Structure formats: structure tokens, C-alpha cells
């Protein structure tokens, strides 16, 4: 989801503090970046990255997660992300996607989507939030945007360009 800076700081109570801290560390903070068209964003055109990370991608709350139409919406989002990310990687770069591994989320078939756009799965690691101090997953939209969602069984999937 793309958000204006004011939207981010109004929806997420610690966002302003986190953005300020990132900028102190010389990080570039961008808003309104669409993961499915990011290679064309004026702030990103011509840039390449060693790592591109998408934690728990989600296409929105449009029905039950096990509904085939809803699964297709999520798959379309992830495939668009993979397509763009593949074109933005350095030669040795990787795309990391953290994602739930149980039904219906495993129906998204991340490895297949990545392969269709020239990426291959190189590693899967179980995801334990305790290993990421300071990371808090958020719902991202609606009245509960700033609330966490149940992670359940999740993994970090690592992809690289197919040579």
C-alpha cells in the first residue's frame, strides 16, 4: 500500500520517531512507492540494490484469505513486486520476502511467481520475530492498522536472479 507521509504518521503512533531515527542513520525514506511499479519511480530509476525486502506482503482486506479470488489478488501483488525487484537487483543481489507458510498463504506459491519473472528460490529460513529486535508486524490498514497480526508459521524466502 502506498501512503502519504501524514497518513503514515497518523496511522502508526511510532512512525514519526522511526522515520526520524532512520534519517539520522542516513537512510532514505520514501513514501507512496508502489511495489508493482517501483522500477519506474523517479526516486528509484537507474538505481540497483543488493537486497530488496518485502515483509508480509498483502493485497488488502477484500474477503476471506482462503477465497480463490483473494489469493489471486495477493499473487498479483507479489508477482508485480518480483517483476520490478528483479530489474532493480545488482548482479549478486537478493530479494527477501517474509511470508506465512501455512494454508491459505502457501497457496500464493512464491517460488513459482518468482521463477516466472527470472528469480529462483535460493534459501528458506524459518522466521522468528524474536530474532529481529525492534521489528513489529502491523496490519497496515483500517481501524486496526497499528495492531499486530498473528504470524503463525512464517519463513524468510530468499531469491536471486536466474543466471
Give the tens place of pLDDT for each residue, 74-112: 999 999 999 999 999 999 999 999 999 999 999 999 999
The domain ranges of the chain are: 1-32, 35-161
- Looking at the chain, how many residues does it have? 163
Least confident of 52-56, 59-63, 107-111: 59-63
**C-alpha cell recorded at residue 35:** 511495489
CA distance 71 to 124: 21
First to last CA, the chain: 31
Q: 96: closest CA among 137, 134, 116, 125? A: 125
Instruction: Mention every residue, 6+ apart, whose C-beta is less than 8 A from residue 33.
Output: 2, 41, 43, 44
pLDDT tens track for 118-161: 999 999 999 999 999 988 888 877 788 778 888 999 999 999 99
As a CATH number, domain 35-161 is 3.40.50.150
Amino acid at each position: 500500500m502506498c501512503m502519504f507521509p501524514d497518513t503514515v504518521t497518523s496511522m502508526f503512533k511510532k512512525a514519526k520517531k522511526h522515520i526520524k531515527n532512520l534519517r539520522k542513520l542516513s537512510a532514505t525514506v520514501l513514501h507512496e512507492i508502489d511495489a508493482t511499479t517501483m522500477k519506474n519511480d523517479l526516486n528509484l530509476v537507474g538505481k540497483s540494490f543488493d537486497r530488496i525486502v518485502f515483509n508480509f506482503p498483502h493485497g488488502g482486506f477484500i474477503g476471506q484469505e482462503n477465497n480463490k479470488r483473494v489469493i489471486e489478488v495477493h499473487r498479483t501483488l507479489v508477482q508485480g513486486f518480483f517483476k520490478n525487484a528483479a530489474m532493480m537487483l545488482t548482479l549478486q543481489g537478493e530479494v527477501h520476502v517474509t511470508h506465512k507458510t501455512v494454508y491459505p498463504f502457501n497457496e500464493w506459491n512464491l517460488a513459482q511467481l518468482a521463477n516466472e519473472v527470472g528469480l529462483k528460490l535460493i534459501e528458506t529460513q524459518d522466521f522468528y520475530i524474536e530474532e529481529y529486535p525492534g521489528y513489529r508486524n502491523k496490519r497496515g490498514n483500517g481501524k486496526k492498522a497499528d495492531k499486530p497480526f498473528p504470524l503463525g508459521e512464517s519463513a524468510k524466502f530468499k531469491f536471486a536472479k536466474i543466471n
